[in-house]
Amino acid sequence: MPILNVTDRDGSAKQVDVTMDGSLMQVLRDAGYHIAAECGGAAACGTCHVYLDEAWLSKLPEADEIEAEMVGLLEATRPTSRLSCQIMMDDTLDGLTLTLAPEE
């Protein structure tokens, strides 16, 4: 199973062993990160906002229109901003590096 390199909002970094299927948001919550996920993963709240490492951005499918629209409504966006609920975990994401965006 993949390993993620996750930096929390306070700057602390650690590796997360992925032991479940589902979205990146679900994996991060399962690992104990505080993600409100108010919309339950429907790309409608923005609380699962993460910054991907730039090298990983091109390896993932592009954000669809709904995700891009939601990201556009957030304040602290970067070019590598994604909604973690819209990224499905699989073995190709082994080593994925990301930082949790500030809560808005």
Continuous segment of H or E residues that includes residue 30: helix 24-30
State the minimum distance, in angstroms, from the CB of residue 42 to ligand FES.
Answer: 6
Site for ligand FES, rule CB under 6 A: 25, 37-39, 41, 43-48, 70, 83, 85
* Rounded CA separation 76/24 (Å): 20
The tokens for 8 are 């929390």
**What's the closest the beta carbon of residue 86 comes to ligand FES, in angstroms?**
7
CB nearer ligand FES, residue 11 or residue 40: 40
Query: Which alpha helices (DSSP H) does the chain contain, by range?
Result: 24-30, 54-57, 65-73
Q: How far is the CB of 63 from ligand FES (least distance, A)?
A: 11
